[in-house]
Amino acid sequence: MMKRAKKATIEDVAREAGVGIATVSRALNNSEGISTKTREKIMRVIEEMGFTPNTSAQSLKIRQTRQIALAVPDIRNAIIPDIAWSVEQAAKQHGYRVVQINTLGNAMQELETLRELKKLHVDGLVIMPLAYPKQLEGLVNQAGIPVSIINYGKRLSEDIKADIVGMARQEGRLVMEHLLQIGRTRIAYAGAPKDKIEERYFAYEQSLEHVDPSLVYFGEDFSFETGRQAANYFYSLKRMPDAIYAVNDMVAIGLVNRMKELGVRVPEDIAVVGIDNNLWATVTTPQITSVSIMGSEVGRLAAELLLKRIQYPGSSDYERVEFEPRLIVRESSVSMNSNSKHGN
């Protein structure tokens, strides 16, 4: 029996033409944002390779709303605008609008978002879960439209029918490794409720031989005010910590702000490190050491993968992309000075 030649795909065309899949899509759909020279090159490659667009996908395209949804835990968290901006810019390049939803990191809200997708009149969803309810995977698989997940720390099933973009390792491990390397020995943790981004707290536990419960503060959320409350708590201890691992930058900023009011020196008395590497960490005094979770890059890629799947459903296996977080050392954490004093 004669072996059937492999049918050319849009990925093959993009590779041969030296352009992105989105550019091939724009050429096929006669969309704006592509030069005449590039369009002609792509069409020439299509003819040479005998590529035939998926007609069922094209018919679906006619009924598209040209809108996608972005579900985030809390727009007040300083890292979220970076992610939202990147998603929106990627969407605009493809002629899509973005409908934004705040789930408040609440399990019921995350599930409700997935259940109500049809009512939103969108072609796809980028979701950044925080609560990760057990039913999330089932609802994603039954969504009926493409879903892209921005994932920080959770181990998700390979069976989930979504493209997933996230971190390759725990951000918290970088924080703890840094604080231990600079000689801090009495390290505290300031975070949101334990079930929220619990992997960040687990990194704290795993890095220490023994966890002193008095050095752990769980606030109500990820806010500046939680950081201030944590500072009050640690200041009230008979023996203060010499370092604090903050669950995110907003908590870290609140900690530094309140410690300065209390007369505690950062980093001489207490080193502070956060996670997110948002802009506000660079305009505080002192500037705050933080782990970059690549929010802009993650948001852009999550949107690009979603838009590719909207335009060409079933064109490839679901993507699993991991970025490597980076520690950005600033003034709030320095090596131990033998003349520094810690505690009250």
Fold (CATH) for 61-167+294-324: Rossmann fold (3.40.50)
Residue 314 clears pLDDT 80, i.e. is over it: no
CA distance 283 to 92: 30
- Residues ≥6 apart with Cβ < 8 Å to 158: 320
Q: 207: how many CB neighbours lie within 10 A of its CB?
A: 18
Secondary structure string (H, E, C) spanning 240-262 = CCCEEEECCHHHHHHHHHHHHHC
The residue extents of the domains of the chain are: 10-53, 61-167+294-324, 171-292
Structure tokens at 191: 């975070």
Query: 171-292 domain in CATH 3.40.50.261?
Result: no
pLDDT band at 60 (very low <50, low <70, confident <90, very high): very low
Residue 50 clears pLDDT 50, i.e. is over it: yes
pLDDT in tens, 251-286: 999 999 999 999 999 999 999 999 999 888 999 999
Work out the percent of the chain whose per-residue pLDDT is above 70: 90
Q: Do domains 61-167+294-324 and 171-292 have the same CATH topology?
A: yes
pTM above threshold 0.85: no
Fold (CATH) for 10-53: 434 Repressor (Amino-terminal Domain) (1.10.260)
Contact indicator for 72, 100 with CB cutoff of 8 Å:
yes
Residue showing tokens 């009149």: 121
CA distance 46 to 98: 31
Nearest to 69 by CA among 342, 306, 256, 295: 306
pLDDT band at 3 (very low <50, low <70, confident <90, very high): very low
